[in-house]
Chains A and B, each alone.
Chain A
Amino acid sequence: MTDAVRSVAQAPRLPRLARPVRSAWHWGWLAPLLLFLAVLAGTAIGETAIPLATILKVLANQLLGAAFPVDRIDAGIIWSYRLSRAILAACCGAGLALAGVVLQALLRNPLADPFLMGISAGASTGAVSVAVLGVGAGTLTLSLGAFVGAGLAFALVVVLAHAAGSGTGGGRATQAAGAIILAGIAGSQLFNALTALIIAKSASAEQARGIMFWLMGNLSGVRWEDVALGLPVALAGLAICLWYRRALDAFTFGADSAASLGIPVRRVRGVLIATMALVTAAMVSMVGAIGFVGLVIPHAMRFLVGSRHTRLVPASALAGAVFLIGADVLSRTLVSGQVLPIGVVTALIGAPAFALILIRGARSR
């Protein structure tokens, strides 16, 4: 204890320690490799299995301008159908997992997920408005409608949270987190009710089934244009999370504690939540509300790599990407001749896998 005096007085000039600073540099090449292998597997596996050699040849033809002779149907399936689909699945998985990491960290609530802020509810309202009510008179696509709906719902939740948060006086940062969660619940319920109302009032049985399928998540019909949107969005989300990784760590003991560590809580929380809302809205509007990934992948990764965001952020992005590619493969192959909604598959594999991790985690304590 007497050393206490020295520790503060003798500021930074301290002897170097022999302790090896744990480096994770090997993940720098292992992670892209894993991701590449997952995308390859997602492309190879399907109703018609395609050998790896063919895939590599098609990739070489398309990307490097090589001229290997390949079957034109195989080339079409690989390039126009499965590859774009696998890459978008990876982007969505990574984006949703990151949104989960950020919301759970900022709001200090283990049940926080990307859809907490009313985004999936708003997206579904937007989608049914376009598909069933014909809002936009043919100029709006389902995706655009969903994106607008998600944006509106998020804006409503933010306004509500702000009104509720400022009512708690002094603006204690921890109370603000509670206000956000409650506002999200209120917003989600409202938009879910609107969706149900529109479907019940106006939709035919066929339309209702189509909407239901879309809501459960659907990667069919993914095009390269979707990848052109999804990939930059996912990468930008990853970059912003990594940039703020220390701020996210600082929220470990709550927002008040983060403030005492010099984090401008309101600004950081605003930037991160808005970014993640955009990422989620973009993903949901392309592939529907795929549940489970954003809730469970972050928890699973905390068990495996710990709660420091320097490791948790890249690990969750990677795991989300690989997990959703796998779920997509299963959704295509589990029932032959039929594509299951991917949201069903993520929950079916995810729930038992997560249970296993929980049990093992409890034993290792």
Chain B
Amino acid sequence: MRLCAEHVDWRVHGRRLLEDVSLTVEAGETFGLVGPNGSGKTTLLRVLAGLRRPKTGRALADDQPMRTMKPQQIARAIAFVEQQADTLDRLEVRQAVALGRTPFLSPLSPWSEEDEAIVDRALADVDLEPLAGRLWHTLSGGERQRVHIARALAQQPRALLLDEPTNHLDIRHQLSILRLVRQLPVTVVIALHDLDQAMDCDRIGVMDGGLLVAVGPPREVLTLERLRNTFGVHADFIDDPDEGRTILRFRRAL
């Protein structure tokens, strides 16, 4: 699914969170959003997910304005994984993942074996099968994040939007979640803090103070000058001759 934002402005209390942002994410692409804290990554993700309707500008899903789509229709195509959504309810992992089927169920349609099978598959995709019967409050932070991703997969989305999904995860789960996400044959937009992880995206966009200041392949966008101006760090690129990839080394803050 192709996701598109056209001249989107978003203000809260007169403060601009997004300023004339235009962006197109092509179908099947893995697109990374990077930028300092408060630069507008989350707000842009929410606009692209159809969760916020901008007063100025518009968001489109496969060329259809999201304003004209019902929430249920959007949720059948686009899944969104928030940062750290939590609950006090006594809820089993399987039940949390089953919530992903909500957009496909009406008040009168019963829970089907097909829904059950989709939930099983989503659990398997994030290696959560052994924990299916565990209660939510007994899970670690990484396990909870994987439950949220499984819930999003149960929506069988054509576009998956993730807001810093690797925060608070150990390195193994960070890498496995990123690998999983990259493998999906759907459009992925992912907000990231780790710039090295962003290097693996097809394209990235850099946010700064509500502006989308650069879009393109990671190596072209993340220049040393950009790292200084936007992120406020001095850094070097180091080439890894074995894998042919480039690694960032951060030296110090400005």
Contact = CB atoms under 8 A, between A and B. Distances in A.
B86 A261 contact: no
A2 B12 CA distance: 42
B121 A1 contact: no
Most chain A Cβ neighbours within 10 Å, of B70, B82, B99, B185: B99
B230 interface: no
A244 B102 CA distance: 11
B37 to A, nearest CB: 17
B62 interface: no
B129 to A, nearest CB: 11
B226 interface: no
Interface string A168-198: 0110000000000000000000000000000
Most chain B Cβ neighbours within 10 Å, of A5, A17, A169, A261: A261
For the side of the interface on A, what is the size category?
35 or more
Interface string A261-292: 11110000000000000000000000000000
A308 interface: yes
A14 B117 contact: yes
A259 interface: yes
B82 A257 contact: yes
B102 A8 contact: no
Most chain B Cβ neighbours within 10 Å, of A1, A9, A306, A361: A1
A301 to B, nearest CB: 11
A92 B124 CA distance: 45
B117 to A, nearest CB: 4
Interface in A221-263: 242-247, 249-250, 252-254, 256-257, 259-263
B102 A21 contact: no
Interface stretch (B72-80, B212-220, B232-240, B246-254): B72-80
Contacts of B6: none
Nearest to B112: A21
Interface in B201-232: none
Interface string B177-217: 00110011110000000000000000000000000000000
B71 interface: yes
A260 B75 contact: yes
B118 A302 contact: no
B72 to A, nearest CB: 4
Interface of B: 10, 12-13, 17, 43, 49, 51-52, 70-76, 79-80, 82, 85-92, 95-96, 99-100, 102-103, 105, 107, 111, 113-114, 116-118, 120-122, 124-127, 135, 137-138, 148, 153, 155-157, 176, 179-180, 183-186
16 contacts: A3-B125, A7-B121, A7-B156, A8-B186, A15-B117, A19-B113, A108-B88, A170-B43, A246-B102, A252-B91, A254-B87, A260-B51, A262-B73, A263-B102, A264-B71, A307-B95
Given A4-B183, A5-B185, A21-B113, 20 more contacts: A5-B184, A7-B121, A8-B157, A8-B184, A12-B156, A169-B13, A170-B43, A245-B107, A250-B99, A250-B102, A253-B87, A253-B96, A260-B75, A261-B102, A261-B103, A262-B71, A264-B70, A264-B72, A306-B90, A308-B95
